[in-house]
Amino acid sequence: MRAYIIYFLLFLAGFPAISQEILTGLQFNPVVQNRAEEYKKLKSTLTGTDTIPVMLPFFDDFSSNGVFPSPQRWIDRFAFENTDYPVFPINLGAMTMDAINDSGRIYSHAVPGPAVFIADHLTSRYIRLDSVFTPLPRLLGPADSVYLSFYYQPQGRGRPPQSVDSLILQLLVSPAHDSITPTDTFEIPDLWQKVWFSKGMSLDTFYLQNNKYFQQVMIPVTDPRYFTNKFRFRFFNYVSLASSAEPSWQSNTDQWNLDNVYLNTGRNLFDTIYPEIRFIQRPPSMLNRYEVMPYPQYCDDPTNEIADTINILISNRDLDAHISSYKYFITAPGSSFSKTYNGGNYNIRTFYYNGYVSYQPFAHPEIDWLFPISSSDTASFLMKHVVKDINPVVMMGDSMQARQKFQNYYAYDDGTPEEGYGLTPAGSKLAYRFHLNKSPDTLRAIQMYFNQTLGNASQQWFYLCVWNDNAGVPGDTVFSDLVYPYYTDSLNKFITYHIYPPLRLTGSFYIGWIQTTDDNLNIGFDRYNNSQNEIFYNVMGQWNNSFYSGSLLMRPVVGKPIPLSTGDIIPRKGSFNIYPNPCNGNILNIHIPDKNIPPAGSSTLFLTIYNLFGQQVLSTRFTNTIDVGTLSDGIYFISLTDASGIQLGVKKLIISR
């Protein structure tokens, strides 16, 4: 028994040789999952679309934020249109190819590494490469100098493709057709020809080789067989998943980003310019630290919470300079509040020699105003940014918009995880710092987004914790409850763990967890926004800032009481007791205080025992004694639930005979 306790303490303390933070890719893409159902409805309206070829020119800059490729140009839905993964794209948005399918899940035929498998496809619709019809109808052929161009980038904000992985481009030589003989009919599949590929590498290596974040590729289309009314091309990628002894660490990987796919006649090898003035990154938050914060907390210290300036990336992809204007507009729908910033006019020189616009009024516009002070609990403001050539004849420019939200929670993240974050070993602690301007205030709940893993291997019990502040690091634990990760299938839908009773807090506080196993809990990690200085981890008895740049998808809910909704987790401490614990025999006693027995009585309660891996090892209707003789020595968790499945409490059980 004594030896077992010593082992258990060592187990919780961890081992320095394997103590670490972990970043993994995703097994499930919540954005794609959210749109998959919408596409099922849309798909019926697109039946037969693929049989109608599109006309030249063919161009897509993936800036519509449509998640799936546009059905006006593409026939499949496996790649992911987004602004999250690409690093310094050609314009706002790119197409990402990885190991996740069109339902937002890892491909069912995925295999552990080092073997590779084909994952995403991005396939164009049929294209009329036999003729053009403007200004006059005429036939096309190899002499018309047709080129297909595109930009590509490995990794981005995701995981780097390995050297055995690759991105491939193929052109369709011959569409599928039936071959009829006197005795039978045979189906001849599509015949494709590989015309380009790139081996996998990290973004750092890619940049060192090319001195740029996106590399353009020019492909001449010269074979007479391509000049038909059923020409098409496709990209696809080979993927290798990591082979890991820890299932909770297995993850999506091998991202590639594509941008500005362009096919047209009359081009040449040096026709690499597509003239445009564009924004490169989505609208930034107007707040100094947060993406979202409670409105009363903002109103208590608005001058420190609003940013002094924001960062805007603008590029001129033309070879000529353009005198342009930049403005932003802030409005509150339904109210008279509005603000306009005018950056004046500036001659934007070409990106190819001068890079992004560095002119202060365009690149770092000031915020010399405040959002209105109000007694409201929430607010929402529309932010719109516009850049354009001042010559009305020159139709070059761009616009983008987003909302600045004030809700009942704090968020450093944008709600979309590019990766997953975890710690090892058991006993590791994670703390995330937030600050209250208006003190004291009430912490009502903690919202968390967990990335789902293959086989749900990351579903392990953990202690949800709240700490006060001790000179800039977590101090005393003011709340702790043993809980379990849950998953959702929708974008921006977090699991809400209610704090019971609610906590009155002042100043800075920390939310986080203490692990009970070595497994990666795989909390969502936003690589687009950086709150690294607010993330602390402790694996060897000392708090340290995170090594990784990004933000955790964890949000404290503060302020007035909040209504319960489906999926909310409500802790009920002390709902039952177990003894003896550690248990050195076969019989375990269960006691529920009378005040904790539901009105329907104990006959409606159920007991479930899980091992450290989250696997159910015993389940029974509640009785005052249960036989645990079939369980081997070790650490378990025993959960008490009611007839509707609501968890009433969890206890740690040690069996040592």
Report the CATH number at residue 588.
2.60.40.1930
How far, in whole angstroms, is CA 216 from its chain's centroid? Answer: 26
Three-class SS state of 248: helix
Local confidence band at 45 (pLDDT 50, 70, 90 cut-offs): very low
Q: Name the least confident of 43-57, 253-267, 459-473, 510-524.
A: 43-57
In a domain, 282, yes or no: no
- Give yes or no for a contact between 404 and 341, defined as CB atoms under 8 angstroms apart: no
Backbone phi, then psi, for 207, in 5-degree steps? -65, -40
- Give yes or no for a contact between 28 and 451, defined as CB atoms under 8 angstroms apart: yes
Residue 46 is predicted with a pLDDT of 44
As a residue count, the chain comes to: 657
Local confidence band at 18 (pLDDT 50, 70, 90 cut-offs): very low
Q: Name the least confident of 113-117, 223-227, 269-273.
A: 113-117
228 and 146 part of one domain = yes
* C-alpha–C-alpha distance, residues 81 and 79, integer Å: 7
374 and 431 part of one domain = no
Residue 571 is predicted with a pLDDT of 57
Write the CA distances from 58 to 141, 231, 255, integer angstroms: 17, 12, 24
Write the CA distances from 497 to 195, 415, 572, integer angstroms: 52, 17, 11
Mean pLDDT across the chain, nearest whole number? 85
In a domain, 40, yes or no: no
Q: What is the pLDDT of residues 421-479, one digit of tens each?
A: 989 888 899 999 999 999 999 999 999 988 765 554 445 778 899 999 999 999 999 99
Q: Which helix (DSSP H) or strand (DSSP E) does residue 437 occupy?
A: none
Residue that wins the pLDDT comparison between 238 and 490: 238
Mean predicted confidence (pLDDT) in 59-79: 91
Local confidence band at 29 (pLDDT 50, 70, 90 cut-offs): low
Write the CA distances from 498 to 180, 479, 511, integer angstroms: 67, 11, 13
Residue 487 is predicted with a pLDDT of 62
* C-alpha–C-alpha distance, residues 408 and 295, integer Å: 7
| Among candidate residues 406, 201, 216, the one with its CA nearest the CA of residue 302 | 406
Residue 155 is predicted with a pLDDT of 94
What number of other Cβ atoms are within 10 A of residue 143's Cβ? 8
Look up residue 523 and give its two tokens: 């909390």
- Domain end marker among 527, 545, 563: 545
Does the pLDDT of residue 586 top 50, yes or no? Answer: yes
606 and 503 part of one domain = no
Q: What is the pLDDT of residues 177-208, one digit of tens each?
A: 766 767 777 778 889 999 999 999 999 999 99
299 and 272 part of one domain = no
263 and 323 part of one domain = no
Does the pLDDT of residue 40 top 80, yes or no? Answer: no
In a domain, 401, yes or no: yes
- Give yes or no for a contact between 118 and 192, defined as CB atoms under 8 angstroms apart: no
Three-class SS state of 269: coil
Mean predicted confidence (pLDDT) in 221-237: 97
Which domain range does residue 185 map to? 48-276
Mean predicted confidence (pLDDT) in 83-93: 94
Residue 72 is predicted with a pLDDT of 93
- Give yes or no for a contact between 523 and 449, defined as CB atoms under 8 angstroms apart: yes
Look up residue 414 and give its two tokens: 């944008």
What number of other Cβ atoms are within 10 A of residue 86's Cβ? 29
Look up residue 501 and give its two tokens: 């009773």
DSSP letter assigned to residue 284: P
Q: Report H helices in 418-501.
A: none
137 and 191 part of one domain = yes
What number of other Cβ atoms are within 10 A of residue 6's Cβ? 10
Residue 184 is predicted with a pLDDT of 73
In a domain, 35, yes or no: no
233 and 309 part of one domain = no
264 and 351 part of one domain = no
Indicate the Cα dihedral angle 40, 45, 51, 52, nearest 10°: -130
Local confidence band at 103 (pLDDT 50, 70, 90 cut-offs): confident
623 and 535 part of one domain = no
Q: What is the pLDDT of residues 596-653, one digit of tens each?
A: 555 445 567 888 888 876 678 898 888 889 999 999 998 888 888 776 666 677 788 8
Residue 14 is predicted with a pLDDT of 34
Mean predicted confidence (pLDDT) in 80-94: 94
Residue 429 is predicted with a pLDDT of 95
Residue 32 is predicted with a pLDDT of 57
* C-alpha–C-alpha distance, residues 144 and 135, integer Å: 15
- Domain end marker among 407, 431, 456: 407
- The enclosing domain of 212 has a CATH number of 2.60.120.260
Mean predicted confidence (pLDDT) in 326-333: 96
Threshold 0.95, pTM exceeds? no
DSSP letter assigned to residue 124: B
Domain count, the chain: 4
- CB neighbours of 143 closer than 8 A, spacing ≥ 6? none
Indicate the Cα dihedral angle 572, 574, 580, 585, nearest 10°: -10
In a domain, 219, yes or no: yes
DSSP letter assigned to residue 526: E
Look up residue 499 and give its two tokens: 């704090």
370 and 499 part of one domain = no
Backbone phi, then psi, for 436, in 5-degree steps? -95, 125
256 and 360 part of one domain = no
In a domain, 139, yes or no: yes
201 and 57 part of one domain = yes
Mean predicted confidence (pLDDT) in 41-45: 47
In a domain, 415, yes or no: no
Mean predicted confidence (pLDDT) in 392-402: 95
* C-alpha–C-alpha distance, residues 422 and 515, integer Å: 10
Beta bridge partner(s), residue 589 = 579, 625
- Give yes or no for a contact between 646 and 572, defined as CB atoms under 8 angstroms apart: no
In a domain, 283, yes or no: no
| Among candidate residues 503, 438, 409, 504, the one with its CA nearest the CA of residue 297 | 438
Residue 483 is predicted with a pLDDT of 82
Does the pLDDT of residue 505 top 70, yes or no? Answer: yes
- The enclosing domain of 326 has a CATH number of 2.60.40
How many CA atoms, within 13 angstroms, populate the side-chain half-sphere of residue 257?
Answer: 32
Mean predicted confidence (pLDDT) in 316-333: 96
Beta bridge partner(s), residue 555 = 447
* C-alpha–C-alpha distance, residues 370 and 212, integer Å: 38
Question: Where is mean pLDDT largest: 5-19, 124-138, 240-254?
Answer: 124-138
